[in-house]
Structure 1
Amino acid sequence: MTEPPRKRMVRPPTGGTESGRTVPERLKTAWKRTPSQQAWLSRQINDPFAAKARAHGYRSRAAYKLIELDDRFRVLKSGARVVDLGLAPGGWTQVAIERGVTSIVGVDLLAVDPLPPAHILQMDFTDPACGPELIRLLGGAPDVVLSDMAPNTVGHRQTDHLRIVGLIEAGADFAVEVLKPGGVFIAKAFQGGETAEVIAKLKQQFASVKTVKPKASRSDSSELYLVATGFKGRGTEGSR
């Protein structure tokens, strides 16, 4: 007695929906990949926020961090001028544009594909010429300064930590120098004593400073975000 033909097993869809994946995927091949690269790719494939980002067309999963922060603090408003520090690959700028911001400028060391109407500057933010050029492209003082900057790491823990803290401080100094009164500064930071020092300085210059860990931030990461609202103006104590 002949057996009936077997039905072809079709793998259920693994992307293209807002809900993302529910069944873990495995890498098809590990050829020419280091163990750390394999681990990163596997985590990325199975990350629900990465799946949602691909489905929605966002350039990075980080878009959902800003979405959560803006849903809570309502800082991205139509007519606002926004600076995006460390914008590559452009997920935060995408969210800002999607939420009605039309005056936005971003900077990164890396090249970034166009995101009209945003002005994109490929430059080192710590270059003294960068800040004035950002304001020139923006056409005036910003209402919001966003910073998702992260330094290139060298693998030496203390050195890498100092670089991270240095970028946070540089972003905060820039925000204080250029923001309109009442403005907002949002920046990626990390838990630690140095972050507490930055928070203390920001509290002298902003009406409210909160630390938030968005759901899209990985649970095993010390990453958090500083949300400073109600900039008091450059005449306040501690301002330059």
Structure 2
Amino acid sequence: MSKTPGSGSRGLKTRVKTARKRSNSSTRWLQRQLNDPYVEKARAAGYRSRAAFKLTEIDEKTPLLTPGLRVLDLGAAPGGWTQVAAQKLGETGKIVSVDILEMDAIPGAEILQLDFLDNDAPDKIRDALGGPADLVISDMAAPTTGHRQTDHLRTMALFEAAYDFALEVLSPGGAFLSKVFRGGTEQTLLADMKRNFETVKHVKPPASRPESVELYVLAQGFRGSAQDD
């Protein structure tokens, strides 16, 4: 019998003692991991991270990943979202995954180890895609410092960079999905997104921990050259 998140053998929580050289925040993170049913489920499914289920759940509610699309995964390491996208796209689609970190190969995906903010990155990525992207996805978040305002600003900087890059490589009608923090899409940025896309909304999949401040912004119907009208 298959297990769903939150059921079965995880009824008893695993408690982690604080080791001499482990900080309290590291101990809390480890305890969450040990008691997280999505971590166990990801391991059983062969996914590289529990984040794979976030993309799966978003796609189940609002279908984004269909065969034949060109998809760009920004900040893809360790590759959970790329795995899901490659499975959904099949042999007729194209998934290009970009990260400054080295990533192990994923069947059906082309992996580029580069900084997408480099001046020559758009041309390299377009060459790999074979044309404009139909969908740009990003699950990037800056390493946390423990200071909420600093973490918020750093992750928002990554979101804005991913959004600006999406405007460069998306085809008309395309979509953009990216992580933000709650309260992190300022009104001016949302207004700009609504000018460039037909619909813009926030989503929080069940796999995103309830206590987490993370959300995802989903923008669909890229207006393309109309943004300059």
Task: Report if TM-score (shorter chain) is over 0.5.
Answer: yes
Number of the residue aligned with 1:41? 30
Q: Does 1:136 align with 2:127?
A: yes
**After alignment, is 154-163 or 209-218 more displaced?**
154-163
Contact 2:39 2:49 in 1 (8 A): yes
Report deviation, 1:163: 2.3
Number of the residue aligned with 1:84? 73
Number of the residue aligned with 1:74? 63
**Structure 1 residues 37 and 156, CA gap change in structure 2 (3 angstroms):** closer
Equivalent position to 1:173, from 138, 141, 164: 164
Number of the residue aligned with 1:54? 43
C-alpha offsets along residues 165-221 of structure 1, whole Å, 9 cap, x if unaligned?
Answer: 221111111111211111010000112264433222111011111101111111112
Query: What pairs up with 1:1-240 in 2 under 5 angstroms?
Result: 18-19=3-4, 21-27=10-16, 30=19, 32-101=21-90, 102-153=93-144, 157-192=148-183, 194-237=185-228
Amino acid at match of 2:121: C
The alignment-based identity, stated in percent, is: 52
Contact 1:83 1:142 in 2 (8 A): yes
**After alignment, is 202-211 or 148-157 more displaced?**
148-157
Q: Supply the distance in 2 between the matched residues of 1:235 and 1:118 (Cα, whole angstroms).
A: 31
Runs of at least 5 residues in structure 1 that lack an aligned partner in the other structure: 1-15
Report deviation, 1:99: 1.1
Instruction: Tell which structure's C-alpha radius of gyration is larger.
Output: 1
Contact 2:152 2:181 in 1 (8 A): no
Number of the residue aligned with 1:13? none
SS at match of 1:234: helix
Q: Supply the distance in 2 between the matched residues of 1:52 and 1:17 (Cα, whole angstroms).
A: 10
Runs of at least 5 residues in structure 2 that lack an aligned partner in the other structure: none
Report deviation, 1:22: 3.0
SS at match of 2:227: coil
Q: Supply the distance in 2 between the matched residues of 1:32 and 1:155 (Cα, whole angstroms).
A: 17
Amino acid at match of 1:107: V
**Number of residues paired by the alignment?**
223
**Structure 1 residues 22 and 155, CA gap change in structure 2 (3 angstroms):** closer
**Structure 1 residues 71 and 193, CA gap change in structure 2 (3 angstroms):** closer
What do you get for the CA RMSD once the two structures are aligned? 2.2
Q: Which is richer in strand? A: 2
Report deviation, 1:74: 0.8
Q: Supply the distance in 2 between the matched residues of 1:193 and 1:89 (Cα, whole angstroms).
A: 24
Contact 1:145 1:186 in 2 (8 A): yes
Contact 2:18 2:27 in 1 (8 A): no
Q: Supply the distance in 1 between the matched residues of 2:35 and 2:126 (Cα, whole angstroms).
A: 40
Q: Supply the distance in 1 between the matched residues of 2:3 and 2:130 (Cα, whole angstroms).
A: 36
Contact 1:104 1:138 in 2 (8 A): yes
Contact 2:176 2:220 in 1 (8 A): yes
TM-score of the superposition, structure 1-length normalised? 0.84
Contact 2:72 2:137 in 1 (8 A): yes
Q: Supply the distance in 1 between the matched residues of 2:188 and 2:3 (Cα, whole angstroms).
A: 39
